[in-house]
Chains A and B, each alone.
Chain A
């Protein structure tokens, strides 16, 4: 079980190659909007599976490439996330948060300036004990038992925003208005949203099913984002967790977030 390692390496290889740059690599087309390799949907890939998906983010690598937004661009393009242009109505799945906002308890006045002034990549933590799931009155959001992904059913959401209130990480966005006019280029492979529903990162479950890594992971030129099975002792994420000191966001709240940061 766990993720197919050979597949993983193959995909990681493609990612790296794409990151470095050319438009055509290994005979694959690259989508102009997303910057990701186009995979023929007819050609069926076996889904990536895990018992517990998790991610390790190497913020050192992020700091080396300040101003890089490859992961954000890729994610938002793939998922038709609108750019509303104002912070009040903003919808975002993944973004850069200042260090203090992301890790309030790790911050202090004399912290290494490089870290203190840096930004951390944040998105849904896919908590093991998600407060958003607990409060949802319609089960429009739930934690998938098979692989731990916190899912969102935008068909069922009534837009009460209780989950937005309950999330300690600010990871959820509400569609205060119709997002469609604010999507630069619509990706026809993924739906858009209607006004009045909540959305968030879904760990690219639709891509995993088609044998693809999450868009952010694939897009990162530095391979700073590593995605894998936490339950598999040989997985890349477990290897990184063994070898580095890692922190998580607000672990004291007991939500058990599954995004780990190498600072």
Chain B
């Protein structure tokens, strides 16, 4: 191999740089960070199970927007038969008005930036947990 030493050195430097964020977090001791979305609404009925929503909310919203805009259907019938208006701002955010503590928790952790909020209006944040509701 020509210039073997230089090549191996280059690879090592490259790997070190690429994995830097991991080393950095180990050094600072931030390895056990996990997102913790807060649900502020107490006692309200859930539209679907938390497990389902965790995995599928984005698909659901994708279907919702097509149904509303393209098919002109606005009512969603939940698994339990209850009807909801298919609206991010007016339905989802009614029960989850705390975007920073709810949506952004996981989105930031996973480095996804859904551009819903470029157009859809987020409610005024109520950071206080609506206890005893």
Q: Name A residues whose Cβ lies closer than 8 Å to a Cβ of B.
A: 41, 142, 144, 146, 151, 153-155, 186, 188-189, 191-194, 205, 209
Complexed CA–CA distance, A41 and B94 (Å): 12
Minimum distance in angstroms from B88 CB to a CB of chain A: 8
Q: Does B119 make an interface contact (CB < 8 A)?
A: yes
Q: Does A193 lie within 8 Å of B119, measured CB to CB?
A: yes
Bits for B62-90, please: 1 = Cβ < 8 Å to A, else 0.
00010001101010000000000100011
B: number of interface residues (CB 8 Å): 14
A-B pairs with beta carbons under 8 A, tally: 33
Residue in A closest to B124 when the chains form the complex, CB atoms: A188
Q: Does B52 make an interface contact (CB < 8 A)?
A: no
Complexed CA–CA distance, A186 and B74 (Å): 22
The one of B70, B72, B74, B89 in contact with A191, judged by C-beta atoms closer than 8 angstroms, is: B89
Q: Name B residues whose Cβ lies closer than 8 Å to a Cβ of A.
A: 65, 69-70, 72, 74, 85, 89-90, 115, 118-121, 123
Known contacts A41-B90, A191-B89, A194-B115; A186 and B121 CB within 8 A of each other: yes
- Beyond A144-B72, A188-B89, A209-B72, 10 additional pairs, beta carbon < 8 A: A41-B85, A146-B72, A153-B69, A154-B69, A186-B121, A189-B90, A193-B119, A194-B118, A194-B119, A209-B74
Known contacts A189-B90, A191-B89; A153 and B70 CB within 8 A of each other: yes
Q: Which 5 A-B pairs have the closest CB atoms?
A: A194-B118, A191-B119, A191-B120, A153-B69, A188-B121
Chain A residues whose CB sits within 8 angstroms of the CB of B70 once the complex forms:
142, 151, 153
Complexed CA–CA distance, A193 and B117 (Å): 10
Q: Does B121 lie within 8 Å of A192, measured CB to CB?
A: yes
